Every structure is written in C-alpha cells, then in structure tokens.
Chains A and B, each alone.
Chain A
C-alpha cells in the first residue's frame, strides 16, 4: 500500500512547527501504524534526514505513551484502540494521512509529535491515591466489595492516561481523565476516607494546569481507547459539588 503523509514537524517547544509532506510506498496491510512510521524513519535516517519524533513504548495499547492525532482523530479511525494498535489495513492505499500531536495548552510539544503530559502526573500527585502505609494493610478479604461495585471501579481504572480525551475536546478538558480516577475510588471502600479532599484537590490542580471544562460534547468518550464512559464526569461533578458544600477542612 502507498500513502501520502502530512506530518507535523517542530524542532522543540519554543520553535514554530509546520506540516511537511512525504510518501511511503510498498507497505503491507498487516503493518501497524507505528511500524509504518518506523519504516519511514529508517528511510529518513539512511537518507541523512532527521527522523520524526513520536512517543511510543509497549506497542500493545496499555502504556499510554503513543499520542497521534490521525486525520483529525486522536488514535485514528478505529474505536477502542490506541494508535499503536492501529493497522494499515484500516486505510485505503493512496490515501492522504495527516498526523499531528495532541494539541492543548497543558500539553506543550516536546518535538514533532511528542508532547509533555506532566500535567497529568501533577493532577495525580495532588490527590489521585488512597493514603496507605506499606505494610499497614488489613487482610485483602477483610472488606468484601460487591462485584458490581468492583467492576465499576475497574471500568474507570482502565484509563491509561494517554490524553486522547484532552486532544479530542474543543475545550481541552481533562475531565474524563480526572473523573476516571475519582470514579475508581468512589466505588471502593478504600477511597472513602479521602473522598472529599481527593476530588477538590484534583479538580483544583486540573484548573491550574490550564485544562478547560466539560461542555457535554462527549468526543472524549468516542476517542478513549479504553472506552471510559462520560458517567465518570457526572460522578466527578457530583462529588465535587458534594465536597464543596460539605468539606469541613480549611
């Protein structure tokens, strides 16, 4: 298969970027999208050009490292997968393919298609945990958790922190990401003691990082590779309101 690629090239955070076009030819339909970029990069290297920088690691859809907007859609045209799980058989030979980085104020470009998602880590450090000392835990079966609740917690915990939700959102909102963590703890008894503090701190940090707010267009749910549902945003909003009205700490 042959493709005409249009790729965002940007030297570093402070430089201006632009789209550059190139062709790739003779690609097998079983090649993954990132392997297609590998093939292109090897050619660029051998021709003495600088390869395209893009983040990737596990290449099986779980590390959350890859972050490409492909033809306007984060992670590309297939639903429920990351860009690394996308194969060229999802495209037509001869097609134009536009590849861009996540675009959001809180995700500055590092180089080309690679962005800095440190803002997500800072939100997690603000409250995305249950405080427990190593070694101080009771027996794992001491507190039964209804399967339905455990499953709801799991559905939210499946978030891989890739940031596609932000990239798809016209407001660059991170509420699906933050909501997923809030929801995970909401459905587990272990989350109860820090329930109010957690949501308040995480939302504060989210605002401070420059993410926007949700206006219910649900693009995030549509592009989420782990198919996290927007119910987590509703849950987070309810938790936030509840905590704001009743939080008794200064």
Chain B
C-alpha cells in the first residue's frame, strides 16, 4: 500500500530531475514573488515594480540563454537567516541578492567569493560603477559583488493632501527644515486635512524605524558606530533623534499600528501626507498617480529625506548587489553562467532603475534616458550627499534588526528613550563582541 503511493511519486520526481544538460545556475533573491502577474513576461520594459521587473529580467535572461537553466529561489526579505543556514549546510546558491551594508558581515567571515575574475570574464569593469555603488561592493581592491542599484529612504508625498494643507508653493511641496517646522507643518496638515502628516512603519517590520533613526543621527553629525566592537547609539545625537521621533508620534503626527505593507497601503489610500519609504516605490507610486481613481491621482511628488537637523546635509544610502557565496562544488561552467548573468544585469541596469532605484553605472546615471524618467531630477542630489553605514561593522544586519526593534518600542511610547538607547547599544555591542 505504502509502496503503491510512493512509487509513482518517486518516479515522477526522478523524471523531473533527469535529462537536462543545461548548466544550472541557482539564483537567490528577495523582492518578492509575482509569478501570477509576471511569470510569463520576458520583456522587462513591460514590467513595473521591483518584483515585476526582476521577474521579467530573469525570464529574459533565460530566454536569451537557452543553455543555462536558472533556478530561482525567492526568499523572504532580507533572506540572511536562510543564506546563513545554506552556507552552514555547504549548499549556498550561486548568486544571492545582498545589501551593501551586509556584505561586510559575510566578507569578514570569508564566506563570499571575490568577483574580480568573474567580472573580468564577463567584461564588466568596476570602473563603470558609480562611486556610491563601488563603495558598496569594494573591499580593498576586491570586488565582492555586482551592484544593481543604490537606494535611499525618501519622502513620498501626497500632493493632493499637501495642497489641501497649504503646503505647496509653485507646484512644489514645502518641506520642514527643522524639528520646529516639522511640528508646525504636521499640525497645520492635520488641522486642514484631518489626517496624520507622517505615514511610517511603526511595528513588526524593523527596517523603517531603523533607517529613520540612523538618518537623524547622521544629520546631526553623529556616528552610529564608534569602532568595530562598539556602537554609539546612546549618544546625545541618538537621544535627540529618538526623542524627536517619539515627540512626533506622541503629538499624533504619525499613523499608528502599521507594518510595512500596512504603511504602503495607507499611503496609497490617501490616509496620510508623507510616506517614508525607499527609492523602490517611486515607479509604483508614479504609476498610481497616473490612474484617475487613485488617491495619488495627479498628485505625487518625491524628495530626499529633508535635512531636519542641519549639522550635516547627508542621507543614508545602501544598495542591492549580486554576490557569490563561496562553494567548493561550483563548476567552471557555473562560473561562466554566473558571469553571463552578471553581465546581463549590468547591461540592463536601466530597466532595474525604472523601479526608482539609482542606477549603479555611471553611463546610465548620466544618460538622458534615466534623467527623463519621472521625478528623477528631484532626488538626483542623493548621489552626492549619500553616505553608507561604516564598512568596519561586521554584523550590520542583526544590529539593524535590534535598532529597529528598540527604536519603534521607544517612539511608540512602550519604552523610555533612555532605556531603549541603552538596550540598543548593549545588545548591539554584545553581538559586535561575540566573535
């Protein structure tokens, strides 16, 4: 009986696995799964959003390279728990999406393969990367990844509500340039629209609060980390940053109880003025603004995170890259396939930049085509004022999680600012000193 059930199953499996002499390239990525909408699309120009464009790009690559079988492994964001487990299990994928900030975590443990030879084979020169993209992947003279973008947290603005709130001049949004102004604008906004000024992630997903906190610390000229073993969150800058976030929330200037998906849909529904979210949403919000039934219809603008604390005009930036985890079993044929894959992504970087991300290649960022994309001139300044998290911190990813968790506990009033900063620093330092 049991054998009766198992036999056909096993036979079917064997049939699936057998007789394919194409080179297998295992590609692991986040950006979500959208096979339902884009599974059959292999023209990237016909796709929108991170998930759609990424899916279409990979479909295109497969269509162009019939001798390579791409096995696509979509993981939940950011996918590092899983990658770590795979590396420990000696079975990592051939190429993985990785944030620039996380590269040092893996590079420090010698878990990534420098891409110099692969890129040379592919004919991609690191010289072609933008300075910000290059800074994200270079360790000494070794190239640890192929950058596909540089991104930053932005202010996505509902201009229809801003107009109603009297915060538009000459068709441009009026943004605060000090904590006091921030408070005044938010108050005025709420009085005239009845809605909160700020739409932000307040719980469950830690990334949003973490980035805002880092941003405010950096704007004050503070440094989140002292050295490779010590964080510096419990500082005057940290106090002021978190205290300010808390004040905004306590004054009712922010939405409440939003996870990431909730915050995005709240903004799309027109339930708040400013959404703090990354470059990746520019394309999607632009598309929404072109639909008549949208709350953003004809009323979407985007700006760099304004300098609320003016000590430094700086913005946190990060980037997405393809990296190659070390794997002794990887064959030369697979390396060649990877080289072609990377070349393809370098060549098609414009399509990826349509998401809203900054291109990772000088030729594209300087091209008329990119500058002609909507809203890009409004945020282009970020290529000059962007600054990544320090490379010497070699557990960036778990620390980001802790910073986000503690920051949201503090600004939503569940915990005192002092206590949160102490815990943040202690927990981060424990990790930094644990290896």
Partners in one complex: no
- B residues at A contact (CB < 8 Å): none
